[in-house]
Structure 1
Amino acid sequence: MADFPGKVNTQTSAAASQQGNIKMAVDVSFVRTIPAILMMAETVVGLLVWSLMASIHIFHPAIGWVMFVSVTLWLLTIVLFCMLLFGVHHKLPSVPWPLAVLVFNGVAAFLYLTAFITTAAVASDYYWTWAYGHMVAAAVFGCIVTVGYGASAFFSYTMWRGNDGNAAGSTVPV
């Protein structure tokens, strides 16, 4: 026990000496890619969908479903975009990123398709009310977001297949 302090290296690395400052590199080239532009568009138009549906003060289970889908996917898209922008995917090479992004976009496209169809079907029930315009606009924007997620799924699929189907690749569809 007497020789314990002699065996311990008390030097700190340069990163640790910054006293907790975490440097995150922003991948500016990612923002210029088609998948990133699609993600930004999905975020903006998804915000329009859920804000239009939230402005309707009518209780209907279909409106609850559309709100759940739009808000959940809006938040998850923002999180995924930030992870790709700040290079978190490089820190987690064990995650099969091309496959994960493909599954996310495919599931998002399907869920938004159900939300879009639900909104369009329920809108006719409120034809003579002020909420009709909000619901039609939300349905149109829902259709646009569905197409966006479908296009993102297509680009994710081409990137995944470009890896020869290797789900363990550490690249991201950019």
Structure 2
Amino acid sequence: MAEFPAKVSTETSSPQAASGGGGFHSFTSRYVSMDMSFIRTVPAALMLVEIGLGLLVWALIASSSYTQIPAYGWVMFVSVVFWLLTIFLFLILFLGIQNKMSFVPWPLALLVFNVMATLLYLTAFITNAASVYNSPQGAAAFFAIVVTLAYGASAFFAFMSWRGDGGNAATNTVPA
């Protein structure tokens, strides 16, 4: 008869933990996982800058009488839409939801998002700067160009990530 192993590893759990009834902690660990290392990256810092300064852009425009000049409608649209989308994207990346959605080509999606944000924020900045008539709009124009530069830097890092992921099929298929 075979001998019983000298060392046996056993693990026990409570019925509550086994059934998943551990409250909020079991919910977050099962469905999402906060990626604390993401916060320390340059793209995450740029996203936080974009969120903070984007909020300043639309708040400064909203604090003035922007409805009297139709050009500011475009500035409000661009700043609010990209502010909300950047918050949403930041949460997806921070909570690790992108790992559950492997069908999305994330490097390419981030590249397209940041290039579009850069171009549209540039048009919003030009529109804002051409229509300045008081100091809140002038401050909004300043923050709009800073946000444009931040989205441009994010586009650069997204391009580097996309290129590093094998996004260029020609360099991957041609033997060296």
Q: TM-score, normalised by structure 2?
A: 0.79
Distance in 1 (alpha carbons) for counterparts of 2:60 and 2:141: 10
Q: Which residue is 1:129 aligned to?
A: none
In structure 2, do the counterparts of structure 1 residues 107 and 15 end up closer, same or farther at CA, with 3 Å as the change threshold? farther
**Structure 1 runs, 4 residues or longer, greater than 2 Å off:** 14-21
1:121 counterpart residue number = 130
Percent identical: 55
State the partner residue of 1:37: 45
Query: Relative to 1, partners in 2 of residues 1:28 and 1:109: Cα closer, same or farther, differing over 3 Å?
Result: same
Gaps of 5+ in 2: 1-14, 170-176
Over the aligned positions, Cα root-mean-square deviation in angstroms equals: 2.0
Q: Residues of 2 paired with 1:30 and 1:42: CA distance?
A: 16
Aligned partner of 1:158 in structure 2 is: 160
Aligned pairs for 1:1-174 (under 5 A) are 17-18=20-21, 21=24, 22-23=27-28, 24-58=32-66, 59-123=68-132, 126=133, 132-165=134-167
Judged with a 3 Å threshold, the aligned counterparts in structure 2 of structure 1 residues 151 and 16 are, in CA distance, closer, same or farther, namely farther
**Residue type matched to 1:154 in 2?**
F
CA distance in 2, matches of 1:72, 1:79: 11
Larger Cα-atom Rg? 2
Deviation for aligned residue 1:17 = 3.1
Shift in CA distance, 25/63, structure 1 to aligned 2, threshold 3 Å: same
Query: Higher relative CO (CA 8 A, sep ≥ 6), structure 1 or 2?
Result: 1
Q: CA deviation at 1:20?
A: 7.5
Distance change in 2, residues 1:16/1:57 (3 Å):
farther
Q: Which one is further off, 105-114 or 15-24?
A: 15-24
CA distance, structure 2, for counterparts of residue 15 and residue 93 of structure 1: 27
**Greater displacement, 149-158 / 57-66:** 57-66
Go from structure 1 to structure 2 and tell me whether the alpha carbon gap of 1:82 and 1:114 turns closer, same or farther (over 3 Å shift): same
Q: CA deviation at 1:16?
A: 5.3
SS at match of 1:93: coil
Q: CA deviation at 1:94?
A: 0.7
Residue aligning to 2:3: none
Q: Distance in 2 between matches of 1:29 and 1:121?
A: 41
